[in-house]
A and B are shown apart, each in its own frame.
Chain A
Amino acid sequence: MITCPHCNNTVKETDTFCYQCGYDLLEDSIGENAVYLKDSIPRNISLSAINIHKYFSGVKALEGSSVVVTKNKLTSLIGPNGSGKTTLFNVITGWLEKSNPRIQEKKIEKKEETSLPESTEENNGKNTKSDDQIPLDIGFVKFEDLRVDGLTAHEVALTGMMRTFQTTRNWPKLTVLENLLVSLPKQAGENILNVFFRRKKIREEERKNTLKALEILELLEITHIRDQIGEELSGGQLKLLALGRLLITSP
């Protein structure tokens, strides 16, 4: 066993980086693969979720889980049933809030010694502190150098990190083209005042968005189902449509 030079965490000799802070153990220096808490320049890591804890009323779904996703690579997360894969996914993408292990320890202490006073809710790692002050034991999620833990699910999606679901979801009564048009972020037409006072801008934007949506349909080779509604699609077509929803949001 060796010690991480950055956070003094004990790591195995076979580990390539420290799961506590992300320090690159192979390079053993400020190398291209290293990700630091204080380092604001992203290297080749697009997503890092370090030391994530999640408790459900005492059940430890995640305890110190970490995952790092490198750019231009396909990363898989595998594990047995109930190991916390979906929970980790939901915490990373903002659908669940990660737990603060300090509060959990206080809750455990409180159970053992009932005389302890009620603990106040501490900052659960919300995105309010600068990078220099992130406590290592609480953990963090960073996407493209932006801390995303503490953001809501839709805010995480707006940073560019988008997700699909195990059971394919869509809008069954909307057409395939509308399914893509709804997915575009920050549309001028989604402001209720613009609907009445900026109609020309909305018309132009709708035209641009329609062309973009048609390009995506051509790319995915599902142009022929452009006019069908979501509930008429096959399973494979729904998967492609879900992929189209992600692709249309990229610049």
Chain B
Amino acid sequence: MLVIFVIIALFVYWFVQQIRKSPYGRTLRAIREDDITVTSVGKDVSKFRWQVTTLATCIAGLAGIMYAMTFNAFEAGDFKPFLTFDLYIFIIIGGLGNSRGAFVGTALVQMFLRAAQVQAIKENISLYLGSRTPILGPLFDFLQLDVYINPDNMRMVILGVILILFLLFKPAGLIREPKTDNEKYLKNLTAEERERSDKAVLARQSLTEKERLDEDEKLKSISDN
């Protein structure tokens, strides 16, 4: 079963990457940035949106089938609205705008959630808040508090704090969306056509622009070394 799930996950990853790299994916990125300009060049934005929503829903449905197959039994109560919050956390921590980020975010958060349920961790990483707590014991006794706090029963709090920290300090997530470049278009040209275009790019650059680019390359090579 695990092997089948991995194969399906890789297939979906390949499928989504093919769309992203295609002219269809390019138009989707343009719609995400400015749908008004996309409309002004003659493209039906609503058509792209409903197609993508349908596709995403199909992929989510496939994920739902695989998820349900991991349970021996399930009910509607297993799919509470909080599940959506979990999915948002996967994406935000992993990285927005790319499939690898979704994989990494899901893996990391799920590892945390599974690890938190291990009995040894629950016992060793726990904090008692109750009448027997030193110094604050009477206060907790007054509040009728008598609990053991561990990563499992505090998981939503921990994830919430992590989410806020990511949104404040690393909003792009662990894996940023890859920067676009023209290599995939220029590689379709013949060597002469490519050389002509590259020469035109270099020829029109001003001296200051050339100096800036040379400086950037130097810094990059220093950081690589």
Q: Taking chain B's interface residues, is the majority helix, strand, or loop, or is none over half, making it mixed?
A: helix
- Whether B23 lies near A192 (C-beta < 8 A) is no
Q: How large is the interface on A (under 10, 10 to 19, 20 to 34, 35 or more residues)?
A: 35 or more
Shortest CB-to-CB span from A73 to chain B, Å, is 23
- Does A195 contact B19, Cβ atoms closer than 8 Å? yes
CB distance from A66 to the nearest CB of B (A): 24
Given the known interface contacts A163-B40, A185-B41, A249-B42, the answer about A175 and B23 at a Cβ–Cβ threshold of 8 Å is: no
Q: Is there contact, CB below 8 Å, between B43 and A154?
A: yes
**CB nearest neighbor in A for B193:** A211
Q: Residue A68 at the B interface, CB < 8 A? A: no
Q: How far is the CA of A175 from the CA of B18 in the complex (A)?
A: 20
B128 contact set on A, CB distance < 8 A: none
Q: A71 interface residue, CB < 8 Å from B? A: no
Which one, A181, A210, A221, A249, contacts B26 given CB within 8 A? Answer: A181
Q: Cβ of B80 < 8 Å from any Cβ of A?
A: no
CB distance from A229 to the nearest CB of B (A): 7
Decide yes or no: A157 and B29 within 8 Å by CB, A170-B34, A187-B23, A227-B201 being known contacts. no
Q: Which of B34, B37, B43, B185 contacts A181 (CB 8 A)?
A: B185
Q: Which of A180-221 contact B (CB under 8 A)?
A: 181-183, 185, 187-192, 195-196, 202-203, 206-207, 210-211, 214, 218, 221
- Chain A interface mostly: helix
A249 to B203, CA, bound (A): 27
Point out the residues of chain B lying under 8 angstroms from A158, CB to CB.
42
Instruction: Using A196-B18, A226-B197 as known contacts, list a sample of 4 further A-B pairs with CB atoms less than 8 Å apart, ordered by residue number in A.
Output: A163-B40, A171-B33, A182-B26, A210-B188
Q: List 29 A-B contacts (CB under 8 A).
A: A154-B42, A154-B45, A157-B42, A158-B42, A163-B40, A169-B37, A170-B37, A171-B33, A171-B37, A173-B180, A174-B30, A174-B33, A174-B180, A181-B26, A181-B185, A185-B41, A187-B23, A188-B23, A189-B22, A190-B24, A192-B55, A195-B18, A206-B185, A207-B188, A207-B189, A223-B204, A224-B204, A224-B205, A226-B197
Interface residues of A (CB under 8 A from B): 152-155, 157-158, 162-165, 169-175, 177-178, 181-183, 185, 187-192, 195-196, 202-203, 206-207, 210-211, 214, 218, 221, 223-224, 226-227, 229, 245, 249
